[in-house]
Amino acid sequence: MDSYKQEFIGFMVDSQALKFGEFTLKSGRKSPFFMNAGSYVTGAQLKKLGEYYARAIHENYGDAFDVLFGPAYKGIPLSVTTAIAYSELYGREVRYCSNRKEVKDHGDTGILLGSPLKDGDRVIMIEDVTTSGKSIEETFPVIMAQANVEIRGLMVSLNRMEKGQGGKISALDEIREKYGFEARAIVTMGEVTEYLYNRPYKGQIYIDDTIKAALDEYYRIYGV
């Protein structure tokens, strides 16, 4: 495993963005772990988060894109901090764009925040995590209604490695099949488990035998 992936796993744990226990997800599934990008709240955390996203995007998609699009609401700070990091790390200016949940009818009107989308724009979408792919289903038509753009791919922080809405293949694979663009992650849950299982991180075991058994059962039901 690349060292930056190990660092990112530790960063998620340190920031309490990745937790283990019992959680009910938006999809209704009962999960032994939970990933929440809303837990990155300080300037230093957001700076580092943007750098991890920027590095993963650079390694997976290169520089051939113009806009970072972060779906509301958690995707908004993700797109902003990643655009800043991309400029600092790679010397390339890319625009950020996000959607509003409701169309604004006064002042800065419309459904978008940040940069407008233009015909020919190449877009990378950014999310914290994709469990079932439902958020992409909601966001994709919003983007395509704005301009004739090319979505180059999706980058999430954590690939949960579980079935999508169709119940047969992973959510990220469903996105590839349905929309025709790549979907990648900074790390996978398999890499997280490999790194943390019965291995102390800063003096604490985060995935012990009990959590590992819960993970194995969860993936027996929902895994792919």
CB 46 within 8 A of CB 40: yes
What length does the chain have? Answer: 224
- Check if 104 is active-site: yes
Q: Is residue 66 packed enough to be buried (19+ CB in 10 Å), middle (13-18) or exposed (0-12)?
A: buried
96 vs 101: CA distance, rounded Å: 17
The residue from 5, 47, 58, 106 that is catalytic is 106
Specify whether 58 is catalytic.
no
Specify the amino acid at residue 77. P
CA distance 80 to 93: 12
For 178, counting Cβ atoms within 10 Å of its Cβ (0-12 exposed, 13-18 middle, 19+ buried), the class is: middle
177 exposure class (CB count in 10 Å sphere: 0-12, 13-18, 19+): exposed
Is residue 203 left, alpha or beta, with left meaning phi > 0 and alpha meaning psi from -120 to 50?
A: left
Active-site residue among 30, 104, 118, 168? 104
The encoded tokens of residue 179 equal: 């929309």
Task: Yes or no: say if 162 and 222 are a contact pair by the CB < 8 Å rule.
Answer: yes
Rounded to the nearest 10°, the torsion over CA 69, 157, 35, 218 is 120
Give the residue numbers marked as catalytic. 104, 106
